[in-house]
């Protein structure tokens, strides 16, 4: 079997410039792209310090690059060289084109903080594949305390006929996310963990978040009753609709249903939150918080009304 085709070059200089207000270029990135990059970084080979890959999407009429998909390209790099598996890249791109021909090559991504000399070489390769590619970076090392995401464009800096360096300029970046995706992204960008939580740990964290959400709504209602805050009819209708659509479920019935679905073991704070929540919670509340694997258990048995309750409660909290 023939060895895969690679592109190998020595590292060159890269200059990083702040974004310019006169630049009309911008990028719009779907949440699935960020999650794909983070997942590929977790699954990278042990010897790899970062992952590199291709960005797919389209260019909008106003010049905005809309990134909707991504895939990893195997590579190897040393102090002064970078090698990309070009054959793998071309095969993957051809496969994506068969499935969705509207998603074309628009740039490339890498994990890490900012750009480097190696970034110049890779960007040069993608510049031969597509005109004016963008470079997306995801700081999975939490260099500045969180996983920052930035987009760049590049141009050559020359003196006469002599090429001096590649000039990278940051461009505006817009992350497109649904409400559920925002929850996951907020956890990703500010949290570094050694392992994923198990079901009970995830349940405990979700219940604590729900506790804070309900407590915030209670506080708002109390403030309105005591005339400390001006009433908002829109919020009031959300809360009233939520309360009126709640199914009547006694604490004993909820306790029995809850334990039938999940085997709750003892934990340090179980008694504290169970004693407060069991008299108050309904399945509708649970459907709001269980957006992880536990949702698969509940979504098979709850009704449309109970889902609507969760949506209304969440909307009311967002308005607050």
CA distance 267 to 131: 56
Written as six digits, the tokens of 314 are: 């969440």
pLDDT at 147: 67
70 phi-psi bin (left φ>0, alpha ψ -120 to 50, beta other):
beta
CA distance 204 to 208: 6
Q: What is the model's pLDDT at position 196? A: 60
Q: Which domains does the chain have, with CATH numbers?
A: 6-190 (3.40.140.10), 199-319 (no CATH)
By the 8 A CB rule, do 213 and 205 touch? no
- Tokens standing for residue 120: 């110049």
Per-residue pLDDT 10s for the chain (320 aa) are 333 444 444 444 444 444 444 344 788 898 888 888 888 888 888 777 888 999 999 988 888 899 999 999 988 877 667 788 889 999 999 999 999 999 999 999 988 877 776 777 888 888 888 888 999 988 877 666 666 788 888 876 656 666 556 677 888 888 887 776 776 666 666 555 555 667 777 777 777 877 887 788 888 888 888 888 888 888 888 877 777 776 676 777 766 766 665 544 444 445 555 555 555 555 445 544 444 444 445 455 555 555 555 566 565 555 55
Task: Please answer whether residues 201 and 270 qualify as being in contact, where contact means their C-beta atoms are separated by less than 8 angstroms.
Answer: no
3-state secondary structure of 51: coil
Residue 82's H or E segment, with its range, is strand 81-85
Give the per-residue pLDDT at 316: 54
- pLDDT of 268 reads 42
Q: Taking the CA atoms of the chain, what radius of gyration do you get in angstroms? A: 25
Q: Which residue has the tokens 């809309």?
A: 66
């Amino acid at each position: 079997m023939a060895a895969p085709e690679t592109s190998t070059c020595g590292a060159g200089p890269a200059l990083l410039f702040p974004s310019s207000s006169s630049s009309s270029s911008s990028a719009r990135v779907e949440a699935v792209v960020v999650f794909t990059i983070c997942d590929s970084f977790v699954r990278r080979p042990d010897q790899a310090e970062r992952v590199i890959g291709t960005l797919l999407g389209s260019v909008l009429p106003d010049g905005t690059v809309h990134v909707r998909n991504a895939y990893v390209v195997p590579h190897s790099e040393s102090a002064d060289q970078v090698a990309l598996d070009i054959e793998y890249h071309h095969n993957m791109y051809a496969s994506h084109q068969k499935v969705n021909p509207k998603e074309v090559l628009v740039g490339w991504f890498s994990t890490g903080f900012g750009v480097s000399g190696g970034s110049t070489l890779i960007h040069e390769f993608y510049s031969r594949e597509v005109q004016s590619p963008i470079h997306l970076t995801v700081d999975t090392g939490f260099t500045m305390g969180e996983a920052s995401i930035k987009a760049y464009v590049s141009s050559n800096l020359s003196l006469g006929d002599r090429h001096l360096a590649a000039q990278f300029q940051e461009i505006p970046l817009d992350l497109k996310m649904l409400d559920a995706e925002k929850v996951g992204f907020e956890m990703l960008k500010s949290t570094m963990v050694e392992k994923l939580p198990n079901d009970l740990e995830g349940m405990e964290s979700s219940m604590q978040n729900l506790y804070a959400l309900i407590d915030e709504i209670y506080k708002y209602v109390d403030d309105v009753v005591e005339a400390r805050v001006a009433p908002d009819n829109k919020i009031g209708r959300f809360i009233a609709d939520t309360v009126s659509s709640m199914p009547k479920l006694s604490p004993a019935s909820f306790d029995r249903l809850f334990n039938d679905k999940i085997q709750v073991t003892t934990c340090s704070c179980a008694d504290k939150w169970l004693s407060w929540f069991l008299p108050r919670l309904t399945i509708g509340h649970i459907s709001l918080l269980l957006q992880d694997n536990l949702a698969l258990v509940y979504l098979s048995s709850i009704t449309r009304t109970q889902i609507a309750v969760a949506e209304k409660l969440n909307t009311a909290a967002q308005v607050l």
